[in-house]
Amino acid sequence: MSLWSRISEALSALANGETLSEVFDRLRTPPERTVAFAIAVVALGAKMAKADGQVTRDEVTAFREVFRIPQKDEAGAARVFNLARQDVGGFEDYARRIQKMFADDPTTLCDLMEGLFHIAMADGFYHPGENEFLHEVSRIFGQSEAQFLALRARFVPDAPRDPYTVLGVSPTASLDEIRKHWRQLVRDTHPDSMMARGVPEEAIRLAEKKMIDINRAWDEINGCASKRVGAA
Q: Tally the residues of the chain.
A: 232
The predicted pLDDT at position 232 comes to: 47
The H or E element spanning position 142 is none
Structure confidence at residue 216 (pLDDT): 93
Other Cβ atoms less than 10 A from the Cβ of 172: the count is: 7
**CB under 8 Å, gap of 24 or more: what pairs does 154-161 form?**
154/117, 154/209, 154/210, 154/213, 155/117, 155/118, 155/120, 155/121, 155/126, 156/117, 156/121, 156/126, 158/126, 159/126
| pLDDT value at residue 68 | 64
CA–CA dist 81, 41 (Å, integer)? 10
The percentage of the chain sitting over the pLDDT mark of 90, rounded to a whole number, equals 23
- What pLDDT, on the 0 to 100 scale, is given for residue 58? 66
Per-residue model confidence (pLDDT) at position 178: 94
For residue range 22-63, what is the model confidence (pLDDT) as tens digits? 777 777 666 677 777 777 777 788 788 777 666 666 666 666
- The amino acid sitting at 91 is F
Q: Tell me which residues of the chain have a pLDDT lower than 50.
A: 229, 232
- In order, the DSSP letters of 56-118 are -HHHHHHHHHHS---GGGHHHHHHHHHHHHH-SS-HHHHHHHHHHHTTT-HHHHHHHHHHHHH
